[in-house]
Structure 1
Amino acid sequence: MEKITYTFIVAGVVIKQDDKYLLVQENRPGTEVNGLWNFPAGKVEEGDSIEQTAIKEAKEEVGYDVDLIRKIDIFQAHSNTPPKHAFEAKIVGGKLDWPKNEIMDARWFTWQEIQEMKESLRSEWIIGAVSILESI
């Protein structure tokens, strides 16, 4: 039996607009995730709910105020990785902007483009969450 080695939960938003999904490119020099694409997401802090974290991360990482539409699913690749809660979200305010010290870039991608850039994605949860939304 594998031991659990994580002690946190991740929450993120899947923002779709005009048939494209918003992803952010990680700016973490010296780490294996530097330059990889991800949803706006982050660790749930003590005292915050999973939903509050998802909303907060959208604002902090891409500058948008969002409303959560629904929880898409919970993704966990292995027992030694944190569970990732993905929420479908819609933009209700703000403008696209990101902290350059954390995010290299933020761009809109089609489902086809996301499938073709699998090696450049931080985690399988991106493919999983978008494929669920595409099937609805």
Structure 2
Amino acid sequence: MSQNGIVLVASVSIFSDDKVLMIKENKPAAINKWNFPSGRIEYGEDILYSARREVKEETGLDVNLIAATGVYNFISSTKNQVILFHFIGEVTGGSLNLEEDEIVD
């Protein structure tokens, strides 16, 4: 199996009481899949900044990152090696407003 490239991703779990915020994807490689708010880390971008930015872009919420759960490595359906940095965040502001082009629920 050949590898296309390495993709760095930041992902955030957001808990409130006994609930967790998840999004339903509308991207071609992940249609109707449930996921945590996440996205690619841009070249030269700070990982923590990227995690907060992705949450804001996808959900409209501002978050404070309170913990890291780990770094995960897998091969995507497009044969990229994905290195995912996952965090736990708490909402500090903003209001829920889903990114309409990429999020359906």
Give the TM-score range, shorter chain: 0.7 to 0.9
Deviations 1:40-68 (A, max 9, x none): 00000012111111000110001110000
Query: Residue 39 of structure 1 corresponds to which residue in structure 2?
Result: 36
| Gaps in structure 1 of 5+ consecutive residues | 106-136
Aligned ranges for residues 5-44 of structure 1 at < 5 Å?
A: 5-28=4-27, 31-44=28-41
Query: Residue 132 of structure 1 corresponds to which residue in structure 2?
Result: none
**Contact 1:40-1:62 at 8 Å conserved across structures:** yes
1:65 to 62, 66, 73: 62
| Gaps in structure 2 of 5+ consecutive residues | none
Shift, 1:99, TM fit: 1.4
Deviations 1:77-122 (A, max 9, x none): 34943111100100000111111111001xxxxxxxxxxxxxxxxx
* TM superposition outliers: structure 1 runs of 4+ over 6 Å: none
Aligned ranges for residues 71-110 of structure 1 at < 5 Å?
A: 71-78=68-75, 80-105=80-105
Counterpart amino acid of residue 58 in structure 2: E
**Contact 1:65-1:91 at 8 Å conserved across structures:** yes
Structure with larger RCO (C-alpha < 8 A, sep 6+)? 2
Query: Residue 52 of structure 1 corresponds to which residue in structure 2?
Result: 49
Q: 1 or 2, which has the higher helix percentage?
A: 1
Q: CA RMSD in A?
A: 1.7
Q: 2:30 aligns to what SS in structure 1?
A: coil
* Matched residues, number: 102
**Contact 2:6-2:80 at 8 Å conserved across structures:** no
Paired with 2:66 and 2:56, the residues of 1 have a C-alpha distance of: 16
Shift, 1:3, TM fit: 6.0
